[in-house]
Structure 1
Amino acid sequence: MTIGLPLFDQSPWNNIADALREKEHFVLCTHQNPDGDGLGAQLGLWEYLKNQGKSVSIINPDPLPTRYEFLNTEKQFQGYDQGLHDKVLDAAEVAIFLDFSRWDRLGAPLEAKMRDIGALTVCVDHHPVEDGPATLNGLDETAAATGQLAYELIRSMGGQLTPVMATGFYTSILTDTGSFRFSNSDSRAHRVTAELLETGIDPSVLYEKVYGEWELSRLRLMSLSLANMESLDEERVLLLPVTRQMIDEVGAHETDAEGFVDVARSVRTCECVVLLVEREGNQTKLSFRSKGRVNVQVIAESLGGGGHLYAAGATVSGNVQDARELVYHALKEGRFVSETS
């Protein structure tokens, strides 16, 4: 049974649908350090627009992570290069931002270019947005994933689902629900997933692609990070560091740290985990996870980020130790840890 989609009869979703029908030249972007949700949503929407005879490019601030190479069916995922892509961006009639709603998530080079193009800007996201980058904002915080929203939008337009589209959208939901373990794995998400599976995609194969084909360097990086994990407030809060030195020592990449936060979250006494990943350019990416008692969205927002009650993130200036001090102060200010921790 096809899900009902009353949301998409309303503005701004109907305006977004009109743009997809009427315009011819599109560019799709997701955030820095792209994850399965943003990338899966891009693949599904790219396939749909291509099948409608549209010109569509995927241009992201960072290259495609190795673990998601299986999505790169026609080498369509490209990391932004000014010399290669500025003409493409200038020709775009519509720029669609997937899974982010703040300019700074694009990274400085691509942000500067996107602010300058004349295309209609559209945001499709399941995170809250204030003063976002887009003219049209298709937002639904109740959705499990951005890929779910992109799928539902296409279905509301009468679009035909293909296995390639289903692969992308399933990857979105799989990764943003923690393999259907998180509280956002609601009946709506499972109904969408059922429709995706009807195309013949194999969930066991996709699970293996996403979670079962890591490089050995990732395990070595995880070992170093766990060995340096810090416990606060009688193991209620865990801080998991990933420094540049660790990354370089084992020959890994900062994107290999994706998922570490969920390993630490499995500790019985833990209520909140913060993963601190040191990036190039003297920045540290923070990923917050909660089991429900700690509102990590509030903590992330206090540090210039955002997200949801149980999962949020931010990027701050400085190395891991600098970021640790900021996080600790934010936790104390919010009374999530005691003064003596």
Structure 2
Amino acid sequence: MSDVLSALGKKVKPILLSPVPEWYEFLFAEKLPILGRDVSFEQLKQGQFCQPDLIMIIDTNSYSQLPQFDGYLKQNDKPVLVIDHHVTADGLGDVELIDTTAAATGLIVFELLKYASWPVTEKIAQALFVAVATDTGWFQFSNTDSAVFRSCAELIDAGASPTEIYHDLYQNYSHQRFKLMTAMLNTLELHLDGRYATQHLLQRDFEQAGAAYSDTENLIDECRRISTIEA
């Protein structure tokens, strides 16, 4: 949305609540500011970071997923637009584009762009394809319906490259992430005749691997490769 609005001549100031995992960095031309690290809550509250006409929240509608930023929202009188597909909702937005049947928020954004006849550049198509691919577990989850593939075909026509995206997401692990995954798999236990799996990580595993919390993303799915696993 940042690229779309910038292309329309709008001034956009993105802010993140946590660092971008390294396997998503290929999507960003520059590092984005992080609340609590690059911008303090006080700077945000006092308008030193920006003085927005509109606040846009993407892929959540829950205060619990917006640490620190939730306080800013509750104090702010600026209009809020939420685009999301999750069932849990605190009603953060004055305007909400919500579709709980959508497999990914990226699909809702894509439909918005088409409806408004806004540009879908190669870079935007790449980002939206990533959003859809990751929310569907690279098209393996039960939320992967025909609408997903139709939209992805359009995104490929607009310039998205599944080959490049798959490499950057799944064949580009750091050594630290791989060591963390090894530590986690070493704790794997099967229960209920192999239908249920548990695994865990300790703080020392992160320290020994030199890994960050962001390195855990999607690691929980590794045990699902076992044929008997249901949960």
Same-fold call, TM > 0.5?
yes
- 8 Å CA contact retained: 1:94, 1:121: yes
- How do 1:81-120 residues align onto structure 2 when only pairs under 5 Å count? 81-82=39-40, 85-86=44-45, 87=47, 91-107=51-67, 109-120=68-79
Structure 2 SS opposite 1:184: coil
Shift of 1:133: 2.0
Which of 62, 65, 84 in structure 2 is aligned with 1:125? 84
Instruction: List 4+ stretches of structure 1 deviating above 4 A.
Output: 83-86
1:265 aligns with 2:224: yes
Consecutive unaligned residues in structure 1, runs of 5 or more: 1-44, 273-341
Query: For the residues of structure 1 that align with 2:217 and 2:19, how far apart are their CA atoms?
Result: 15
- Map of 2:139 onto structure 1: 180
Contact 2:121–2:159 (CA under 8 A) maintained in structure 1: no
Matched with 1:63 is 19
Counting only pairs closer than 5 Å after superposition, residues 136-175 of structure 1 correspond to structure 2 as 136-175=95-134
Q: 1:195 to 1:64 in 2, by over 3 A?
A: same
CA contact (8 A) 2:43 2:49 kept: no
Residues 71 and 85 of structure 1: CA distance in aligned 2, closer, same or farther (over 3 Å) = farther
Contact 1:242 1:257 in 2 (8 A): no
Q: Amino acid of the residue matched to residue 218 of structure 2?
A: G
Secondary structure of residue in 1 paired with 2:12: strand
Query: Cα gap change, 1:118/1:89 in structure 2, threshold over 3 Å: closer, same or farther?
Result: farther
Residues 80, 95 of structure 2: 8 Å contact kept:
yes
CA contact under 8 A between 1:93 and 1:118: conserved in structure 2?
A: no
Contact 2:44 2:72 in 1 (8 A): no
Structure with more strand by fraction: 1
Quote the residue 2:34 is aligned against: 79
Deviation at residue 178 of structure 1 after TM alignment: 1.0
Normalised by the length of structure 2, the TM-score is 0.91
- Consecutive unaligned residues of structure 2, counting only runs of 5 or more, are none
Pick closer, same or farther for the CA change 1:114–1:127 going to 2, 3 Å.
same
Query: What is the aligned-residue RMSD (CA, Å)?
Result: 1.7
Residues 63-87 of structure 1: per-residue CA shift (max 9 Å, x gap): 2221111111243x22112166452
AA of the residue aligned to 1:56: V
1:232–1:238 Cα contact (<8 Å) kept: yes
1:133-282 mapped onto 2 (5 Å cutoff): 133-272=92-231
Cα deviation for residue 146 of structure 1 reads 0.6
Cα deviations by residue, 1:266-301 (Å, 9 ceiling, x for unpaired) = 1111111xxxxxxxxxxxxxxxxxxxxxxxxxxxxx
Report SS of the residue matched to 2:190.
strand
Q: Could you tell me whether the CA contact under 8 Å between 1:121 and 1:133 is conserved in 2?
A: yes
